[in-house]
Amino acid sequence: MEELVENWVGPYRCAAVSTKSLLIRKPPQATCFSREVTISRYFSGPRPIIEGDGEDGAEVGIRMQGVIIGGTESKPHSHPYMAYLGIVTLQGKQKACGGFLIRRDFVLTAVHCAGSSISVTLGAHNIVDRERTQQVIQVRRAIPHPHYNDKTLSNDIMLLQALSYSTVAVPSTHPCDLKPQQPPPKGEIIGGTESKPHSRPYMAYLEIVTSQEKQVACGGFLIRRDFVLTAAHCAGRSVTVTLGAHNIQKKEDTWQRLEVIKQFPYPKYEPVGVHDIMLLKLKEKANLTLAVGTLPLPPHVTFIRPGRMCQVAGWGRTGVKEPASSTLQEVKLRLMEPRACRHFRAFDHNLQLCVGNPQSTKSAFKGDSGGPLLCAGVAQGIVSYGLSSAKPPAVFTRISPYRPWIDEVLKEN
Average pLDDT of the residues in 251-260 = 95
Average pLDDT of the residues in 185-199 = 62
Identify the pLDDT of residue 73.
Answer: 87
Is 15 a residue whose pLDDT tops 70? no
Residues 6 or more apart from 212 whose CB is under 8 A from it? Answer: none
Contact status, residue 80 vs residue 171, Cβ threshold 8 Å: yes
- Which of 81-90, 125-134, 205-214, 253-262 has the weakest average pLDDT? 125-134
d(CA 396, CA 312): 10
Average pLDDT of the residues in 320-341 = 81
89 pLDDT tier (thresholds 50, 70, 90): confident
Identify the pLDDT of residue 65.
Answer: 34
Average pLDDT of the residues in 338-367 = 80
Average pLDDT of the residues in 221-247 = 95
20 pLDDT tier (thresholds 50, 70, 90): very low
Q: What is the pTM of this model?
A: 0.55
Q: What stretches of 27-125 adopt beta strand conformation (E)?
A: 36-42, 59-64, 67-68, 82-88, 94-103, 106-109, 117-122
390 pLDDT tier (thresholds 50, 70, 90): confident
Is 41 or 412 the better-scoring residue by pLDDT?
Answer: 412
Is 393 or 169 the better-scoring residue by pLDDT?
Answer: 393
3-state class of 96 per DSSP?
A: strand
What percentage of the chain carries pLDDT values higher than 70? Answer: 72
Q: What is the tens place of the pLDDT at every residue in 111-169?
A: 999 887 888 889 889 888 777 788 888 888 889 898 888 888 889 999 998 866 555 44
User: How buried is residue 139: exposed, middle or buried, by Cβ count under 10 Å (0-12/13-18/19+)?
Assistant: buried
Q: With CA atoms as reference, report the closest residue to 264 among 278, 285, 282.
A: 278
d(CA 248, CA 195): 13
Q: How does 41-63 read in b/e, with b if 16+ C-beta sit within 10 Å? A: eeeeeeeeebebebeeebebbbb
Quote the radius of gyration of the chain (alpha carbons, Å): 24
Is 352 a residue whose pLDDT tops 60? yes
d(CA 159, CA 107): 6
- Count of residues in the chain: 413
94 pLDDT tier (thresholds 50, 70, 90): confident
Helix (H) or strand (E) holding 378: strand 378-385
Is 44 or 351 the better-scoring residue by pLDDT?
Answer: 351
Torsion of CA 213, 214, 217, 218, to 10 degrees: -70
Contact status, residue 26 vs residue 58, Cβ threshold 8 Å: yes
Contact status, residue 192 vs residue 265, Cβ threshold 8 Å: no
Contact status, residue 122 vs residue 139, Cβ threshold 8 Å: no
User: How many other C-beta atoms can be found within 10 angstroms of the C-beta atom of residue 198?
Assistant: 18
Full set of structural domains in the chain with CATH: 1-73 (no CATH), 75-173 (2.40.10.10), 199-294 (2.40.10.10)
Q: What is the tens place of the pLDDT at every residue in 280-320?
A: 999 999 999 999 999 999 999 888 989 999 999 888 655 44
d(CA 367, CA 323): 10
Return the active site residues.
233, 276, 369
